Structure 1
Amino acid sequence: MNKNNLVVDRSARSYTMSRVFSAPRELVWKASTDPELMPKWWGPSYLTTVVDKMDLKVGGVWRMIQTDSQGNVYAFNGIYKEIDPPSRLSMTFEFEPMAGHISTETLVFEELPGGRTKIIATTTFNTLEDLEGMLQSGMESGAVESWDRLEELLETVKA
């Protein structure tokens, strides 16, 4: 299975994760923007994810709600800043319990030979402290699990 690559750039207050998926770019784009498909891979498997809002247009709002087995709720939201199907998607990202700590995520969907796609996801923070906090939160393992789940979903959707 493909692995994620993480590069941290403290001078730019950002990190970039990338991974190659064995699926065509249009399908990877769809799985990343379709409210029916997103809950099947976004976030860890021990949480139930619901798309509360996904207004896929520049200025549109997205919001995801995750619930654990004890009923604890974790919500995330943002605003779409750039949408260029199927190659580029940019949005703000905020974990609601930590309101005000808003980052910007930009995903580039690079078409590769053999029907493969590379996602390059760059997250930029307003402060170095926000970047360090995210890195210490365990986000990398969560991202790896999410992208593992995306790979599995792409295999089933492709079949």
Structure 2
Amino acid sequence: MSTTDTKHETEITAGTTLPTIVVVREFDAPVDRVHRAWTDPVLFAQWLGPKSLETRIEQWDCRTGGSWRYSSIRDGEAIASFFGSFHEIRSDRIVQTFTYVGFPDGVALETIRFDALADDRTRITSTMLVDSFEGRDGLLSSGMDVGVTEGYVKLDALLGRTA
């Protein structure tokens, strides 16, 4: 599945031999700025998710061995909550777990790679290994593509404002 959200295309693909979801997207900003948008809780909350939701950070210890928790907010009310652990934070990648509170047995392992491109651009590749094909398909059918795509449009705008 590919969607064009601005001048960049977001590619979302499901693995055929493993229950994975791979998201690839380029940004017009250097790796350090894109990485910071993923690790700074104030910045992260500004771009994550669809336009119709806000993100409220409830816990954020962004370091190897740290943990996180946030909720998606609509009209002042939490409609979904997520939590996980940061397994590795490096300048070129983040490895973390991801769990939806409504399905606590469905832990996914996500690796986000930050690759430097020419002209101070960055390609991110997020690979999420889900616990089962059913869990993966549930994520894909949940509107995840809208949240990812709209979130990346918000991240484009944020990267254009921050230095």
TM-score where L is the length of structure 1: 0.94
Counterpart in the other structure of 2:108: 103
Q: Counterpart of 1:108 in 2: which secondary structure?
A: strand
Out of 81, 84, 87, which is 2:87 matched to?
A: 81
Question: Which range is displaced more, 38-47 or 68-77?
Answer: 68-77
Letter in 2 for 1:12: L
Q: Given the alignment, which residue of 140, 154, 157 partners 1:152?
A: 157
In structure 2, the residue matched to 1:27 is 33
The amino acid across from 1:37 in the alignment is L
Give the secondary structure class of the aligned counterpart of 1:106.
Answer: strand
Q: Which amino acid is 2:129 matched to?
A: T
Secondary structure, aligned partner of 1:97: coil
Say if 2:75 is the partner of 1:69: yes
* Cα offset, 1:72, TM superposition: 3.9
Q: 2:147 aligns with which of 119, 136, 142?
A: 142
Query: Match of 2:98, SS?
Result: strand
Aligned to 1:4, the other structure's residue is in SS state strand
Superposition TM-score, scaled by structure 2 size: 0.92
| Partner Cα distance (1:57, 1:145) in 2 | 27
Among 8, 13, 20, the alignment partner of 1:7 is 13
Residues in 2 aligned to 1:142 and 1:47: alpha-carbon distance in whole angstroms: 9
User: Tell me, what secondary structure is at the counterpart of 2:26?
Assistant: strand
Query: Which amino acid in the other structure matches residue 57 of structure 1?
Result: R
Q: Which ranges of structure 1 fall in alignment gaps of 5 or more residues?
A: none
Q: How many residues align?
A: 157
Which residue type is aligned with residue 18 of structure 1?
Answer: V
Q: CA deviation at 1:56?
A: 1.3
Task: Provide the C-alpha distance between the structure 2 equivalents of 1:70 and 1:92, rounded to a whole number of angstroms.
Answer: 26
1:32-77 Cα distance to aligned partner (Å, 9 max, x none): 1001101110112221211111111222111112211162432111
State which of 123, 128, 145 in structure 2 corresponds to 1:118. 123
Tell me, what secondary structure is at the counterpart of 1:98? coil
Calculate percent identity across the aligned residue pairs: 29
What are the ranges of 5 or more consecutive residues in structure 2 without an aligned counterpart?
A: 1-6
Please report the RMSD computed on the Cα atoms of aligned residues, expressed in angstroms. Answer: 1.2
